[in-house]
Structures are given as structure tokens and as C-alpha cells.
Amino acid sequence: MPRGSALPDTGEPSLRVVRGPRPFYLRRRFLRPFAPAALVAVAGLLALTTSANLLLPLQPLTVINGSVGSKADYFEDDQVRDLLLRHHIRVNITRQGSREGAGSDLDTLDFVFPSGQPAARLVVEKRIAEGKRQTVHRPFVSPVVLATYREYADTLVANNLATAQPTAGGEPPYYYNVSMAPFLERMRAGETWNDLRLGDRGLSNDNVALVNTTDVCVSNGAATYLSLVAYLHRHGVPKDLADATDLGNEIKPLLRAQGQPIVSPELYFVDEGRRNAPIIVIYEHQYLAHQLRHRARQGQLDRDRVLLYPDVALPSEPQFIGLTESGTRLGKLLTTDPDLRRRAMELGFRVFDPTGETASPQLSRFLAESRVPEPARGGIETKVLLPDLPLLEKMIEVVGDCPKPGK
């Protein structure tokens, strides 16, 4: 048929298909505002799926209760909480001194995490006496150290009581080695900081040059320092309860001078600490975490605060003690999960290898990457020996005027 000619009239009815209106969700006015939101939702769904968190709200959550000393800093960290939630675990902690936690009602807890061996031994012996089981894990460690300020550290150096650890890159020293035996001699003599010529560094302090501690009745750090003072004072350990009582009375003035307050580690990180507690017993991770935060926030280290490392090795063996199946599961997780182990390192802890026997070199690498100097801890030849637990308990009671745990 020629182009342009009309169709012949056959007399048959014709059928014309008319396309209906588009569904509202395909209309352009709907797609324009909705499509970006839909893409975001799809991307979020994919992210949840790949991270295994999609069904997290639908899975049961295990609540684990524990008593924790200085290692509470770890469990109170937001990233640690998020990592534990991925394992469907929420940890509720009671922050207590290690010795205080050992004397608490263990039947209400899933775990305890004392900061040192003496308190851990109290827990284990108590469980054995009650015919109950427990598991012990060692996820990380943080040595006991003496925290001070640069003017006080340099004053000790000027009196031949301390030496600065070498530094690199023109940085001032942040770590010092302190000779504890001669320093204790100055304490026994009642010398003040002004007697040691603190004024040469622009400060004045008439207080006796002592080391401040937390409450020895509840704190492992304070009890550890007490063990150091007792060992150096006696050049050994007490032989019986009567001897422990006498030794406790002899060293009490070196730990609790008249008018000397019981302090908390937080005092060290505020301005008032420079005069009220110029040297205080803390854990290494508390200092390293402070410097890591300071570097991240201000681009430089806190040059006012430094650490003193005693020239004798202080025992510091934190032990995570699982009291229930849930507590045991958590202890194993802290020891083996790579993300939880890395976060512990980022908080300044020295992470143990999975066997719990030796500290891994991860912290050294992390500090170097973060441009925070690493303290040197080698060359220590003398190690403080702990007395038998009943004798240590007796000295703690005498020095702190405190009751036995659980009384």
C-alpha cells in the first residue's frame, strides 16, 4: 500500500491499548526525593550484613557482672563496650580497690579482676575453701609506677636520687629511674622538698618528701608499694605475724605521715596534684593513656608530667578470675580476641601473648607510631619478694588501720 494511504475499512472493530498511570512509587515526583534516602538505606543494610550486626538487636544479650580495680578504665571505654556488644555481651562493673573486691560477695559476681597477685590469691583461696571453681586469665598487665612532675623529678636528679632515661629527637626526658633505697633514707630523715632544694626549680613545698598512695586497705597499688618499702627497710620479708606487726609499725611513717591525705590517681592529672601529691603511686597505663590522648588532642605531649621507675622490680600481676561460665567466656575473649587486645594496647596496657606468660611487643610499636616515647624497663636486678599472704595482710592492717577483707 502506498505510503500515506488510509487503512481500508474492513468493517471489523479495532482494539486500542491504553497504558494506565504509573504506580506512585515510580513517578518522577516521588523518585526525586526518595531515591537518595533509599540508596542510603540499602548501603546501611549491606554494611550491617557484612559486619554481622544485622541481627544484633534480635539476639540475646548476656549481662556479665564484675568487680574491677584499676582495670575499670578498660571496661568503661566506649570502644570496648561496642566490641563486646558484637559478641552479645554487656559488662556491668563495680569499681573497687582490688583488696576490697576480694572481700566482696563473690556469689553475686561473674568475675573479679584484681590488679595484683595478693588480692587474686585471696579470691582463689576463698573459692577453694567454699568448694567452688574458678578460671584464671591474664589478658594484659600494667606495672606500678611513681608519677610526678618534672620539677620534682629534676630535684631528685640533683640530689643523686634519680637519673633520666635517654631521649631522642631533642625531647626532654619523660621517664626517670629512681634509686629507692637512698630515697627512703631521705624520707626516714624527714627531709622536705624544700630541704632537697626544690626552690631551685621555682617551686616551694614544705611537705616531707614522701610518696603518696591510694588507700592501702583497698588498693593493690598501695599494697604493692607497701611491699617495696617493707622489703627495702628489712632487706627481706617478715618471718611471722609478730614480726609482720613490728615491721608494719616501723614503715608506717613512710607511708602515712601525719596529715598526709589518701589520694586518688585522678589528682595527678589536675593542677592541685603538683603541691598536694607531688609523687603518687599509679599504674603505667594511666600515664600512657594520658599522653596518647594529649598527643591526639593537642598535637604534643604533656611535658609537665613524668614517671619514676623504681630500681627494684615491683610485682604486678593482674588476674582475671572467672567465677561463672559467663565470666570464664569473657576472660577467654579478652585474651584471644584481636580487636579487644588491640584496644587494650591503645589504652596503654601491655598485652600478654595468648598463653598469658609474656607481654607482646605490640605496645612498643603502637607508641612509636603514635609518637609517644616508650619507657625503658631493663637493667633491674633486684626484685621485691612478697611475704606469705597472712603476713602481708597483717602489715596492710597495721599500716592502714583497716579490717581484714570481708569483715
Residue 8 has what pLDDT?
53
Count CB neighbours of 260 within 10 A: 17
Residue 219 has what pLDDT?
86
Any idea of the CA torsion for 279, 285, 290, 293, to the nearest 10 degrees? 170
- Mean pLDDT confidence for 398-407: 71
Residue 202 has what pLDDT?
93
Q: What is the CA radius of gyration of the chain?
A: 31
Among 31-45, 66-80, 203-217, 324-338, the minimum mean pLDDT is found in: 31-45
Decide: residue 175, CB within 10 A, 0-12 exposed, 13-18 middle, 19+ buried: buried
Closest alpha carbon to 251 in 194, 213, 280: 213
Q: Whole-prediction pTM value? A: 0.81
pLDDT tens digits for 320-340? Answer: 999 999 999 999 999 999 999
3-state secondary structure string across the chain: CCCCCCCCCCCCCCCCCCCCCCCHHHCHHHHHHHHHHHHHHHHHHHHHHHCCCCCHHHCCCEEEEEEECCCHHHHCCHHHHHHHHHCCEEEEEEECCHHHHHCCCHHHCCEEECCCHHHHHHHHHHHHHCCCCCEEECCEECCEEEEEEHHHHHHHHHCCCEEECCCCCCCCCCEEEECHHHHHHHHHCCCECCCCCHHHHCCCCCCECCCECCCCCCCHHHHHHHHHHHHHHHCCCCCCHHHHHHHHHHHHHHHCCCCCCCCCHHHHHCCCHHHHCCEEEEEHHHHHHHHHHHHHHHCCCCCCEEEEEECEECCCCCCEEECCHHHHHHHHHHHHCHHHHHHHHHCCCEEECCCCCCECCHHHHHHHHCCCCCCCCCCCCEECCCCCHHHHHHHHHHHHCCCCCCC
Among 115-119, 130-134, 135-139, 314-318, the minimum mean pLDDT is found in: 314-318
Residue 28 has what pLDDT?
59
Residue 342 has what pLDDT?
93
For the chain, the maximum distance between any two Cα atoms, rounded to a whole number of angstroms, is 129
Contact 314, 117 (CB under 8 A): no
